[in-house]
């Protein structure tokens, strides 16, 4: 994936993080997902007073795209406003992203500082399996 695309995607993720509803953790996260047709879907974390119901930015972006009929995403950027250093996606998000992203898909994450981590879905979620469980969709 071209550097300029990942840069633009990360900027979208940063903007999306300002929409976060995070009164409990005070930790705002934004995500921007690139679909295979070039469209971009963003999301932020949406917390709940029943803490376990909180939705991460990554899954929030994903449901936006899937709701619009997209089924394959080719890159994601994740921005955490309230951490200087990069914060990677949680385990649940790694699995959910792997449903709609191939192992080679690039992932960039960063905090408010300069450091960025560039990795892939396959690195974050190795030994993925059970994709053949899904029938026609």
Q: In angstroms, rounded to a whole number, what is the distance separating the alpha carbons of residues 37 and 70?
A: 9
Q: Minimum CB separation from ligand THU for residue 96, in Å?
A: 11
12 is catalytic: no
Q: Which lies closer to ligand THU via its Cβ, residue 88 or residue 132?
A: 88
Q: Which two tokens stand for residue 86?
A: 């990069």
Distances (CA, A) of 107 to 13, 73, 74, 77, 122: 12, 11, 9, 6, 10
Q: Which lies closer to ligand THU via its Cβ, residue 74 or residue 76?
A: 76
Q: Minimum CB separation from ligand THU for residue 106, in Å?
A: 16
Choosing from 58, 99, 104, 114, the catalytic residue is: 58
Q: Minimum CB separation from ligand THU for residue 12, in Å?
A: 15
Q: Which lies closer to ligand THU via its Cβ, residue 2 or residue 59?
A: 59
Q: In angstroms, rounded to a whole number, what is the distance separating the alpha carbons of residues 122 and 44?
A: 23
- CA dihedral sign, ordered 5, 88, 29, 129: positive
Do residues 85 and 117 touch, judged by C-beta distance below 8 A?
no
Q: Which residues bind ligand THU (CB under 6 A)?
A: 22, 25, 27, 29, 45, 47, 54, 56-58, 78, 87, 89-90
Q: Which lies closer to ligand THU via its Cβ, residue 23 or residue 135?
A: 23
Q: Minimum CB separation from ligand THU for residue 74, in Å?
A: 19
* Residue 64 CB-half CA count within 13 A: 21
- Active site members: 58
């Amino acid at each position: 994936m071209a550097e300029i695309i990942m840069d633009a995607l990360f900027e979208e993720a940063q903007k999306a993080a300002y929409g976060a509803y995070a009164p409990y953790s005070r930790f705002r996260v934004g995500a921007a997902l690139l679909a295979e047709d070039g469209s971009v879907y963003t999301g932020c974390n949406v917390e709940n007073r029943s803490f376990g119901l909180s939705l991460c930015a990554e899954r929030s972006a994903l449901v936006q795209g899937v709701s619009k009929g997209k089924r394959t995403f080719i890159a994601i950027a994740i921005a955490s406003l309230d951490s200087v250093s990069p914060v990677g996606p949680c385990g649940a998000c790694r699995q959910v992203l792997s449903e709609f992203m191939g192992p080679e898909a690039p992932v960039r994450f960063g905090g408010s500082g300069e450091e960025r981590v560039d990795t892939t879905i396959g690195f974050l979620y190795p030994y993925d399996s059970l994709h053949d469980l899904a029938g026609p969709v």
